[in-house]
């Protein structure tokens, strides 16, 4: 199979979807890797490093999409990339479609088979292709939040860990999955007082053991959140319902319970945001203020640390890339049923129920379109 790697074009995105190690594996499996000129530069990977492993360097996105059968990405395709998709293409990248009806309809119209990293599942129902980026984003969330709490940046002017004789800041993490665990771990390391909220009691049990008494775990009822907001300095939103638009865990009205210049970090912004007042921002202009509360809502947080993120992401995606290239979509799904929920759009249909619900588009079970899916 001819596997294409276009340069990422989302604002402040420096990751790349395949490393030279991935090129080597594809070539060893008898496939061809087509890499856009300069695609790896943001992650400090030169074209010559790809070429040394057998990749062919193409001058622009048009030639990569034109020649490739499967297109690999990091962030969701931008409109000019959607325009290059064909019905025979397999697109394998992050999509985050539930909060994005416009992109969903673009992909539907393309009739390409679009597989989202973030809804591929492992045998335990976890999200193996979201997890590495959630680890990165969780760690950045606390770093960014601590920074935004500094007075010159519009924050309250409080140091997360306090000092002897002055109390530490309170950090509230809502959603104790991969992002939440990593955000809380960094906050613990910075010596803040940390409270992790979730609605899954088994998950709270696991966190309780993992934190070893260094953070509190709390059931995320509306009342418990409201009781915490008046004392929170930093709130990190990290909830997820697989594939679906994020639920609001803090409303605009509840902002009134918070201290002036407290900071909200909405990591769930890529699924539409879990605070009612959130809207996506970029690394170049990461924050805005609503009712005196700083909001940090960067939708591609791991893009800021590409040298870490590119390798963390591609370590996880490569086995799936190889399976799809070796076997085709239908057979790869037959051998690994966790790939099935990854297929969000195929043959001009939305084939993921939560995406269909989030975008208001009719849901079609994948089996009904599989015969038309590239194999």
CB of 255 to ligand NAD, least distance (A): 17
CB of 8 to ligand NAD, least distance (A): 13
Closer of 131 and 262 to ligand NAD (Cβ) = 131
Closer of 134 and 287 to ligand NAD (Cβ) = 134
Closer of 159 and 210 to ligand NAD (Cβ) = 210
Q: For residues 341 and 351, what is the distance between their CA atoms, to the nearest angstrom?
A: 8
Pairing of strands 113-116, 170-174: unpaired
CB of 152 to ligand NAD, least distance (A): 24
In degrees, rounded to 5, the angle at the alpha carbon of residue 150 between the alpha carbons of residues 146 and 156 is 100
Residue 74 φ then ψ, to 5°? -110, -75
Question: Which of these is catalytic: 31, 96, 295, 352?
Answer: 96
Tokens at 17, concatenated: 């979807």
> How distant, in Å, are the alpha carbons of 148, 211, 298, 318 from that of 208?
28, 5, 29, 33
Give the dihedral sign, CA 355/356/361/365: positive
The residue sitting closest to ligand NAD, measured at its beta carbon, is 177
CB of 247 to ligand NAD, least distance (A): 5
Residues that bind ligand NAD (CB under 6 A): 118, 127, 130, 133-134, 137, 174-180, 197-200, 203, 220, 238-241, 246-247, 249, 267-271, 298-302
Q: For residues 219 and 36, what is the distance between their CA atoms, to the nearest angstrom?
A: 47
DSSP letter string over 45-111?
Answer: --HHHHHHTTPEEESSHHHHHHH-SEEE-SSPPPHHHHTT--TT-EEEE----TT-HHHHHHHHHHT
Element (H, E) at 193: strand 193-198
CB of 320 to ligand NAD, least distance (A): 17
Closer of 53 and 143 to ligand NAD (Cβ) = 143
Which has the closest alpha carbon to 238: 268, 270, 262, 264?
Answer: 268
Q: For residues 218 and 155, what is the distance between their CA atoms, to the nearest angstrom?
A: 26
Question: Which of these is catalytic: 100, 193, 233, 270?
Answer: 270
Known catalytic residue at 60:
no
CB of 145 to ligand NAD, least distance (A): 13
In degrees, rounded to 5, the angle at the alpha carbon of residue 311 between the alpha carbons of residues 310 and 315 is 120
Closer of 26 and 114 to ligand NAD (Cβ) = 114
Known catalytic residue at 270:
yes
Closer of 72 and 130 to ligand NAD (Cβ) = 130
Query: Looking at the annotation, which residues are catalytic?
Result: 96, 270
């Amino acid at each position: 199979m001819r596997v294409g790697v276009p340069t990422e074009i989302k604002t402040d995105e420096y990751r790349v979807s395949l490393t030279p190690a991935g090129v080597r594996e594809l070539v060893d499996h008898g496939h061809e890797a087509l890499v856009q000129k300069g695609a790896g530069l943001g992650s400090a990977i030169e074209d010559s490093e790809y070429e040394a492993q057998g990749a062919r360097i193409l001058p622009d996105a048009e030639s990569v999409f034109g020649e490739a059968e499967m297109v690999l990405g990091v962030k969701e395709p931008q409109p000019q990339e959607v325009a290059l998709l064909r019905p025979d293409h397999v697109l394998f990248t992050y999509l985050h479609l539930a909060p994005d009806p416009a992109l969903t309809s673009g992909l539907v119209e393309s009739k390409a088979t679009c597989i989202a990293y973030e809804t591929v599942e492992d045998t335990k129902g976890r999200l193996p292709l979201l997890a590495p980026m959630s680890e990165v984003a969780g760690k950045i969330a606390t770093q960014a939040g601590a920074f935004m709490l500094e007075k010159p940046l519009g924050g309250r002017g409080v140091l997360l860990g306090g000092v002897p004789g002055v109390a530490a800041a309170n950090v509230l993490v809502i959603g104790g999955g991969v992002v939440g665990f990593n955000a809380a771990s960094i906050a613990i390391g910075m010596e803040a007082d940390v409270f992790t909220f979730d609605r899954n009691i088994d998950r709270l049990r696991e966190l309780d053991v993992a934190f070893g008494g260094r953070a509190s775990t709390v059931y995320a009822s509306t009342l418990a959140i409201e009781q915490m907001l008046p004392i929170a300095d930093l709130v990190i939103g990290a909830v997820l319902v697989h594939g679906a638009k994020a639920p609001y865990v803090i409303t605009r009205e509840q902002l009134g319970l918070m201290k002036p210049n407290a900071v909200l970090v909405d990591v769930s912004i890529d699924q539409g945001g879990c605070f009612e007042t959130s809207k996506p921002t970029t690394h170049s202009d990461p924050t805005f203020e609503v009712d005196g509360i700083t909001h940090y809502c960067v939708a591609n947080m791991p893009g800021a640390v590409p040298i870490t993120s590119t390798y963390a992401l591609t370590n996880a995606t490569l086995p799936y890339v190889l399976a799809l290239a070796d076997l085709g979509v239908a057979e790869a799904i037959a051998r690994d049923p966790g790939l099935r929920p990854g297929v969000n759009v195929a043959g001009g249909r939305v084939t993921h129920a939560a995406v269909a619900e989030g975008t208001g588009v009719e849901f079609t079970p994948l089996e009904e379109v599989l015969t038309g899916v590239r194999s």
